[in-house]
Structure 1
Amino acid sequence: MMLDSMGPTTTAENKQWRALLEASPVAEMKALLTGLNGRYISPGPGNDPIRSPESLPTGRNFFALDSSLIPSRAAWALGQEMAAQARRDNPQSAEKSTALVLWASDVVRDEGVMIAFGLDLLGVEPQWNSRGLVTGLRQQERAEGNPRRDVVFTTSGLFRDLYGMQLELLNRAALMALNASRDRIVRDFPALTVPLQNALQPLQAHNQRGDESLQTNQVAAHWVAQAKALLADGVSPEQAGAMASYRVFGDAPGSYGAGINRMAERSGAWESRDELADVYLRRLGHSYGGDNYGVPAQRAFKMQLANVENTYFGRASNLYGLLDNNDAFDYLGGLSLAVETLSGQAPSNYVIDHSDPQAFKTQPLKLALRQELRSRFLNPQWLEGLMVHGYAGARTMGSEFFEYLWGWQITNPTLVGDWAWDEVKAVYIDDKYQLGLDTFLEQGHNVHVKTNMLAIMLVAIQKGFWQADAATRKSLASEFANLVAEHGLPGSGHTDPDHPMLTWLQSELSPAQREALANVVRDARPAPEQALEIHRLSELQLEVSDSEATDEILRIVENQSKSTSSQAAVKNSSEASAEQKQSSASNVMRNRFLLALFLFAVATVAFASVRAVQNARKGSE
C-alpha cells in the first residue's frame, strides 16, 4: 500500500522497488543466521526505503552518516527553507520561545535537518571544511524585523548517545546568539556583567561579540529577564548567568524516554495531568553542553519551557507516523503538556514532514493527527489488511493504536475530542464498516486485545476526557464486564485489580455483572503472603526439596573446614617433603574450587527462592 501511494510513478521503477522489497525478508533472515554463525554481513546504507531506495534490499549491516558531517550542507539548505517558512507563517511573540524535539533516528535519515532548522532560527550557521566536516559556527547578521528567535532543544537519550558533538554544537550556538548582544547588555545592565561573563565562559577565545539590540536578539532579551529573576531569588551571580543560558536538555546519562508513555500505559497510577508533566520535567530536565553534561537542571528547564509558544517536531521518514508508536506523544506530547502546565496555555504544536525534501510541509499537530487517524486507523482498507494477520493484526489495533491515541488524549486533550472516541467505538466495537471486526476481535487471544480496548475507553470516560452519553457508558461497561467474567482481566495497566476505573464501573453494571467482575478482580489480587518484598539475603527462607543437594552443600562445607586445617599443618611443618608441598598446593587449588562451588550453590538456591516469590506474585495478575 505504501509503495503504491508513495513509490515511483513509472512502471519500471515501481516493479524494481517491489522486487527489492519482496527480497528483503529472505535477506533479513539470511543475514540473521549469518551473524549468529559469526560470519561476515555485507554493509549497506540504512534509511527509509521510500526516501532512499539504495537501502534496499534490507538485511545488510547498515551504517549511517559520520556525526562530524552533521548537519550536512544539504541539510542546512533544507533547514534554512523550513526556518524561513516558520518565521513567515508561524508568528511568535517577542517574549516567547520556540522548542524543538530532536531524535537520533531522524538525523540518520536527514543528515541533521532539524538541527539546521534550530541553528537558523538562532541566527547561527555551520562552517565546513573542504571535506564537508563541520569545523565550527558563525553568527549571522540580523536586521530589524528578522530577530534571532530563542530556541530550546529537547533531545532523546539515543540522540545524546550518538550525537554528543551536536549537543555541544547546539549549546555553543545558543551562547553565540547571546554573545551577539554582549556589549549592549554590559552597557545597559552593568549589574549583569559577572553573570554574563560566567554564562559565556564556555566560548573562551570566541571574540565575535556584538551590540545587537534586545528587540533583534530574543535570546539576549530573555537571558536578561531570567538572570534578573534568578538574582532576585537569591541565586549567586555565577549560577544565575549559567542557568539563564541553558538551552539544550535531555534525559540523564544512561536513561531513555520522557516517561509519559509508561505513565500512559499505567493509567491507574496517576490522577491528574500535572503528575504526568512532573514526570516529563524531572526526566528531561538535564542540561547538556560544556561542563554541564547531563547535570540536573529542572529549575532552568521549567524556566525555559514556561516561555514556549511554538513547538516543532520533524518527520524524516515514511516508515512511522504520530499514532503508530509511543515515542511521538512521549516527546512532543510531553513537551506540550509541560508547557501547558507551566504557562497555563498549551503551545502551538507543529509537525514538519520533510520525508520528501523537495516538498516539505508544516502542519499544525491537530491537522496531522486527524489526517493520520482517518487515512489509516479508521480506514476499512487498512483494517482489512490487519485482520489477515490474526492476533498480530489485532494487537496492532488495540495494544498499539488505542494505547497511542490514549497517549495523545492525556497530553493534548483538545486534539482528541469526543468525536474521536465516538468514531473509534463505531468502527472497532460496533463494526461500522461491517468487516466482521466484532467477531474477529473475540477470536482466540484477540479477545484480550478487545477487553483492553474497552478498558481504555472506559478509563477515558472515568477520568473525564470523553464525555460519553449514558447509553454508551452502559454498553461499554456491560461488554467489558462480560468479557472479563469469561476470559479474565487482560493484564494491562488499565485493568490492574486496584484501578479506580473498576470501582467507578460498578454503577454501570447489573448486580450479576458486578458480582462476577468482583470475583475475577478478587482472584487477581495477590495473597498477602505473596506480596512480601525481599530486601536482603537474610530474609530468604531457603527451601531445597532435594535432600541430596542439601547434603552435598553440607559435605562441601565440612570438607572445606578439614582441608583448611590440613593446609595449615602442612604449611607450618618445617620437615614437610617436596611431595607434601606439592600436595598442599594441589589442595589449595582444590579447596578454592570447592569454595567457589559452595558459593555458587548458595547463590543458586537464593536466586531460585527470589524467582519463586516473584512468580507467585505474577501468577495472580
Structure 2
Amino acid sequence: NQASGLRRVLAFACEQLVPRLHQTSEEIGNLLRGLRGGYIPAGPSGSPTRGMAHILPTGRNFYSVDPRSVPSQSAWRVGQQLAREVLARHHRESGNYPESVAISIWGTSAMRTHGDDVAQILSLMGARPLWRAGNRQVAGVELVPLEELQRPRIDVTTRISGFFRDAFPQLIELIDDAVQLAIAADEPEHMNFVRKHYLRDLQQGLQTGLGQAEAATQAAYRVFGAKPGSYGAGILPLIQEKNWQDQADFAEAYINWGGFAYGRKVQGADQREAFRQRLAGVQVALHNQDNREHDIFDSDDYLQYHGGMIATIRALSGQQPRHYFGDSHDPQRAAVRDLKEETLRVFRARVVNPKWLASIRRHGYKGGLELTATVDYLFGYDATAQVLDDWMYQQLAETYGFDPAMREFLEQANPWAQNAIAERLLEAASRGMWQEPDAQTLERLRALYLHSETQLEARGETVRGSEHTKDMQ
C-alpha cells in the first residue's frame, strides 16, 4: 500500500505538478494579453505555497471561493489549532484564559485559506460550523457544550477589512450568529465571557438612558469595519504626513475609520462608541499570516490593522495588550508567536539579511524604493505597537545608511530613497522611539541627510537645465 501511494504521489508530481509549474511564464503573457483587451483564462484562487496545487498554473483570471463552503473543514482544523495555541500561550504566560480578544481579518486571506481566521474566531467562542453532508456547504453554527469545551467561551471583537465586508457577508452573519447564541446561552458568567460582557454593557447602556432594545443591540455588536463603501484603517496617512503626537491620535483614527458595526441585521451602523468600549477591555490583539510570500514589514496593512489595534487598546486601557501573530503557512503546524518574536525573526531573516540586500541592489530604482518602504513599515509598526529595540534602529542606520556598497547603490539608483531613509531614522530618534541613539550615529545620519539633499538639488538643477535647453531648441 505504501509503495502504491508513493507511486501515485510521484505520478502526480511528474505528470501534473511539474508541467503546471513550467507554465508560470504565462503570468506575463496573460498580463500583456489583458492589457490589450484579450481573453484571460479563468482559474481558482488560492496559494500554491499552502499546497493548493489545483490553482496552478498561476496567471489566470482567478475567481473567489464558493462563499457557502467557508470555512471549509480543513480551515476548521487549522482555526481550532490557532485558537488552542492562543489560549495555551496566554495561559502559560498569565496563568488564566483571556476574557476578551480582538482580531483583524482580511478577505484575501479568507480566499486563500477558505476561512482559517473565521474558524479561529468561532473556536475561541466555543462554537463550530455545521456542514451539509452532501456538498460540504456551511448550513449554520452551533455552540460546543461546556462539558465538551472544558474552558470558558472567549469574547472576540473582530475588525474586518473592507474587502472582507464586500466578499463575505455570509461570514459576518455566521460570526454574528455565534455571538447571539453565546449571549443567549444560560451558562455561568465565568464560563461564558461573551454573555458576561454583554450583560455588563447592557446594564451600562440602560444607565445612560438607552431603551431596552437599543441597549441590547449595542451590547451585542462584535464585528466592526470601515464605513460602507470605504476601505482602510486610517493609520498610514498619519505616519506618512507625520501628523501624530501620541497613541491617542492613532486611537482616534482607528476608531473613526473602523467603528461601523456589521451583523445579520446591521450593515455599517455608526457605532464608534461601542467599538471604543469593546477595544478598551481587550487583553490580546491577534492577526494571522497564512503564507510566507510576504512578511509584516513589506506591507502597510499589517501596521495599520494590527499595529493600529494595539495602539488603540493601549490608549484606551492604559496598558499594552498581549500581541500575538498566528502563522499558518504550514496548515499541519499552525503556530502562534508573540509579535516581538515575529519582528525579530523577520528583521534577521530579511530586513538585514545580506543575501536579500544584495538581491535588492539588482533592481535599481525599485530596489531603493523597497528599502524605503521597509524602513517606513518598521517605523510604523514601532510607532503603533512598540516592537523595535534601539539596536535594531542602530543596525538599520549602519546597514541602510552607512554601508559603503549600499550608500553607493542608493546614490546612483535612488537618492530619494537615501534621503527618505535618513529622514525616517532621524524622526524615530526625535520622537523618542529610538530611545538612546549613539550621538555619533545621529551626527552621521544628519550628514547623510544633508548630503542626499544636496544630491537631489543638484539633480533638480540638471533636470531643469536640460528642459530649458529643449525649450530653446
TM-score, scaled to structure 1:
0.68
Identify which of 445, 464, 468 aligns with 1:476.
445
Contact between 2:71 and 2:119, CA under 8 Å: does it hold in 1? Answer: yes
1:256 — aligned with what? Answer: 231
Contact between 2:125 and 2:155, CA under 8 Å: does it hold in 1? Answer: yes
The CA deviation at 1:242 is: 1.2
Distance 1:131 1:18 in 2: 30
2:470 — aligned with what? Answer: none
Contact between 2:397 and 2:445, CA under 8 Å: does it hold in 1? Answer: no
Identify which of 385, 408, 419 aligns with 1:451.
419
The CA deviation at 1:478 is: 2.0
Identify which of 168, 173, 188 aligns with 1:168.
173
Identify which of 257, 279, 286 aligns with 1:305.
279
The CA deviation at 1:14 is: 11
The CA deviation at 1:229 is: 1.9
2:358 — aligned with what? Answer: 384
Q: Does 1:27 align with 2:2?
A: no
The CA deviation at 1:421 is: 0.3
Identify which of 442, 465, 478 aligns with 2:433.
465
The 3-state SS of whatever aligns with 2:378 is helix
Distance 1:480 1:338 in 2: 33
Distance 1:242 1:251 in 2: 19
2:464 — aligned with what? Answer: none
Identify which of 296, 317, 334 aligns with 2:270.
296
1:157 — aligned with what? Answer: 162
Distance 1:352 1:476 in 2: 36
Distance 1:15 1:346 in 2: 53
2:49 — aligned with what? Answer: 50
Contact between 2:98 and 2:154, CA under 8 Å: does it hold in 1? Answer: no
Question: What do residues 129-152 of structure 1 show as CA deviations (whole Å, max 9, x unaligned)?
Answer: 121111111121013951111111
1:370 — aligned with what? Answer: 344
Identify which of 189, 204, 215 aligns with 1:229.
204
Distance 1:82 1:94, change over 3 A: closer
The CA deviation at 1:476 is: 1.1
1:82 — aligned with what? Answer: 82
The CA deviation at 1:265 is: 1.4
Contact between 1:101 and 1:155, CA under 8 Å: does it hold in 2? Answer: yes
The CA deviation at 1:153 is: 0.7
2:192 — aligned with what? Answer: 217
Distance 2:195 2:90 in 1: 21
Identify which of 128, 131, 140 aligns with 2:131.
128
Question: What do residues 80-114 of structure 1 show as CA deviations (whole Å, max 9, x unaligned)?
Answer: 22222332332376683011111111111111011
The CA deviation at 1:38 is: 4.1
Distance 1:95 1:19, change over 3 A: closer
2:471 — aligned with what? Answer: none
Distance 1:50 1:84 in 2: 24
Q: Does 1:395 align with 2:390?
A: no
- Structure with bigger RCO (C-alpha 8 Å, 6+ apart): 2
Distance 1:348 1:59, change over 3 A: same
Distance 1:489 1:451, change over 3 A: farther
The CA deviation at 1:36 is: 4.0
Distance 1:85 1:280, change over 3 A: same
Kindly provide the amino acid, as one letter, of the partner of residue 224 in structure 2.
F
The CA deviation at 1:240 is: 1.5
Distance 1:459 1:155 in 2: 31
Distance 2:316 2:273 in 1: 12
1:72 — aligned with what? Answer: 72
Q: Does 1:320 align with 2:330?
A: no
Question: What do residues 301-329 of structure 1 show as CA deviations (whole Å, max 9, x unaligned)?
Answer: 01111111112211112211111111011
1:140 — aligned with what? Answer: 144
TM-score, scaled to structure 2:
0.88
Distance 2:68 2:61 in 1: 21
The 3-state SS of whatever aligns with 1:311 is strand
Distance 1:22 1:440 in 2: 34
Contact between 2:76 and 2:120, CA under 8 Å: does it hold in 1? Answer: yes
Aligned residues: 444
Distance 1:264 1:15 in 2: 50
The 3-state SS of whatever aligns with 2:49 is coil
The 3-state SS of whatever aligns with 2:142 is strand
Distance 2:299 2:124 in 1: 29
Q: Does 1:359 align with 2:327?
A: no
Distance 1:352 1:94 in 2: 17
Distance 1:177 1:488, change over 3 A: farther
Distance 1:301 1:490 in 2: 49
The 3-state SS of whatever aligns with 1:62 is strand
Contact between 1:94 and 1:215, CA under 8 Å: does it hold in 2? Answer: no
The CA deviation at 1:235 is: 2.6
Question: What do residues 489-525 of structure 1 show as CA deviations (whole Å, max 9, x unaligned)?
Answer: 999xxxxxxxxxxxxxxxxxxxxxxxxxxxxxxxxxx
Contact between 1:95 and 1:218, CA under 8 Å: does it hold in 2? Answer: no
Which structure 2 residue ranges, 5 or more long, are not aligned? 1-9, 461-473
Distance 2:39 2:73 in 1: 33
Distance 2:371 2:37 in 1: 38
The CA deviation at 1:376 is: 0.5
2:214 — aligned with what? Answer: 239
Q: Percent identity?
A: 32
Distance 1:217 1:292, change over 3 A: same
The 3-state SS of whatever aligns with 2:46 is coil
Counterparts of 1:398-547 in structure 2 under 5 Å? 398=372, 400-413=373-386, 415-431=387-403, 436-444=405-413, 446-467=414-435, 468-488=437-457
Distance 1:483 1:18, change over 3 A: farther
Q: Which moved more, 1:171-180 or 1:59-68?
A: 59-68
Which structure 1 residue ranges, 5 or more long, are not aligned? 1-9, 181-210, 492-621
Distance 1:388 1:35 in 2: 28
Identify which of 108, 111, 116 aligns with 2:111.
108
The CA deviation at 1:176 is: 0.8
Kindly provide the amino acid, as one letter, of the partner of residue 363 in structure 1.
R
The 3-state SS of whatever aligns with 1:82 is helix
2:245 — aligned with what? Answer: 271
Q: How much is the aligned-residue C-alpha RMSD, in angstroms?
A: 2.4
Distance 2:119 2:226 in 1: 22
Kindly provide the amino acid, as one letter, of the partner of residue 473 in structure 1.
L
Kindly provide the amino acid, as one letter, of the partner of residue 102 in structure 1.
I
Contact between 1:315 and 1:352, CA under 8 Å: does it hold in 2? Answer: yes
Question: What do residues 384-419 of structure 1 show as CA deviations (whole Å, max 9, x unaligned)?
Answer: 011011111111111x10111011111012x11211
Kindly provide the amino acid, as one letter, of the partner of residue 142 in structure 2.
R
